[in-house]
Amino acid sequence: MKGFIVTGTDTDVGKTVFAAGLAQALRASYWKPAQSGLEGETDSQAVSRLAPDADVLPEAYRLATPCSPHEAARIDGVEVEDGALELPATDRPLVVEGAGGLLVPYRKDLLAADLFARWGLPAVVVARTRLGTINHTLLTLEAMRARGIPIAGVAFSGDAEPVAESAIVEIGNVPNLGRLPVLDPLNAQTLADAFAQSIRLDR
């Protein structure tokens, strides 16, 4: 197995938490190609904390401002180059977490979706269960299909919303990988337990 891309319908939907659960379950390497925003815990630091057996690789770009990578790079005076965004070599499965959602620009001529299509790993779409998620998730799936990005399935994040979840899975014709509930506390143990109980990777 080569690995997975973890994308989502939006920023802040739970991609890092899902990616940590996945990386821990697979004893994978985790890679965040571009981290925008360095104040507080970065995504890589969160994965180190939540997935103690994962191998966290260094980001290709560490950008100071918490905004779209193309703008964060401009602010820092950094040129985003395709060569730095090749998948890193690892002998473990690789879990790659994109920034924000599918059409987030790394440069104005390089969207997350362009990278995902290039990398070719199956992508998990992390979707909220809250109101608005049907539209956001179906749009994301449609754009992925239009670009030939392989879809592993949708993983939900949040409180159960069976009506929205079943609408997405049926209308989107996509595997349902399960749902991570809101964890309180959220730590390596509660995440590993919830991931094992709720996420069905065999789908």
Ligand X SMILES: Nc1ncnc2c1ncn2[C@@H]1O[C@H](COP(=O)(O)OP(=O)(O)OP(=O)(O)O)[C@@H](O)[C@H]1O
User: Can residue 41 be called a binding residue for ligand X (CB under 6 A)?
Assistant: no
Length of the chain: 203
Residue 32 among the catalytic residues: yes
- Alpha-carbon distances, residue 40 vs 66, 78, 92, 128 (angstroms): 11, 21, 28, 23
Minimum Å distance from CB 131 to ligand X?
A: 17
Given 23, 24, 31, 32, which residue is catalytic? 32
Question: Would you say 146 is a known binding-site residue?
Answer: no
Q: What is the DSSP letter of 87?
A: P
Minimum Å distance from CB 173 to Mg ion?
A: 27
CA 139, chain centre distance (Å): 16
Q: Using CB under 6 A as the criterion, what x/- string covers residues 74-113 for binding ligand X?
A: --------------------------x-------------
Helix H segments across the chain?
15-26, 43-50, 69-76, 112-119, 133-146, 162-171, 188-198
Task: Report the C-alpha gap between 197 and 194 in whole angstroms.
Answer: 5
In the annotated binding site, the residues are 12-17, 36, 43, 97-100
In the annotated binding site for substrate, the residues are 36
Footprint on this chain of ligand X (rule: CB under 6 A): 8, 11-17, 43, 100, 157, 180, 182-183, 186
Footprint on this chain of Mg ion (rule: CB under 5 A): 15-16, 43
